[in-house]
Amino acid sequence: MKILVVEDNDLKYRRLLEVLTSCGFASENVTRSKNQRSALINLRLHHDLVLLDMTFEVLENKSQTATLQALAGLQVMQYMRRTGLQTPTIVVTQHSSFQQPGTPVIPDIETLDTVLKTNFPGLYRGYVFMTETNNWREVLISHLRPLNG
């Protein structure tokens, strides 16, 4: 199974990779993207699963400067929908609310979950709220189990 992990934080990526390998996924089949441009390029290749951070860097077209966007992951999912990609996607985030200029505030993770379920049925498979004090590993494993048949 080929997996795309869209994650800019090195420590968070290593922790995700640890869980993936402990569940039997081969690390050599995991591709990492650290920003939106890389994610969009890698999505054109065949992947069986996407683990998607919600907040990461987006390169501005004209200036080529990177800006952190709270809903960059949402933009990636919109791209996937527009291009017909139906790769199962699990959102993995450390943020509990999302505010980005020009978009309505998403006040909590439950609202984000509702927005994603409504707008991306069949694509969105759930979320993992990743903090030091919660059971994020078990939640991720529960999302992975049906995909690792």
Read off the pLDDT of residues 56-100 as tens digits, 9 standing for 90 and up: 877 666 556 666 677 889 999 999 999 999 999 999 999 887 777
Residue 106's CB: how many other CB atoms inside 10 A? 23
Distance CA 110, CA 1 (A): 29
Q: 146 is written with which tokens?
A: 């049906």
Q: Nearest-CA neighbor of 95 among 10, 14, 32, 9?
A: 9
Residue 148: C-alpha distances to residues 42, 83, 101 (Å): 21, 25, 38
Q: 40 is written with which tokens?
A: 């969009």
Residue 40's CB: how many other CB atoms inside 10 A? 16
- Is residue 75 within 8 A of residue 69, CB to CB? The reply is yes
Share of the chain above pLDDT 70, in %: 93
- Is residue 72 within 8 A of residue 26, CB to CB? The reply is no
pTM for this entry? 0.91
Distance CA 91, CA 129 (A): 8
pLDDT of 64: 63
Average pLDDT, the chain: 90
- Is residue 68 within 8 A of residue 57, CB to CB? The reply is yes
Question: In terms of residue numbers, what domain contains 26?
Answer: 3-148
The answer on pLDDT for 31 being more than 70 is: yes
The answer on pLDDT for 114 being more than 80 is: yes
User: Domain holding 127: CATH number?
Assistant: 3.40.50.2300
The residue count for the chain: 149
Query: pLDDT of 126-147, one tens digit each?
Result: 999 998 877 999 999 999 998 8
pLDDT of 63: 58
Q: How many domains does the structure of the chain reveal?
A: 1
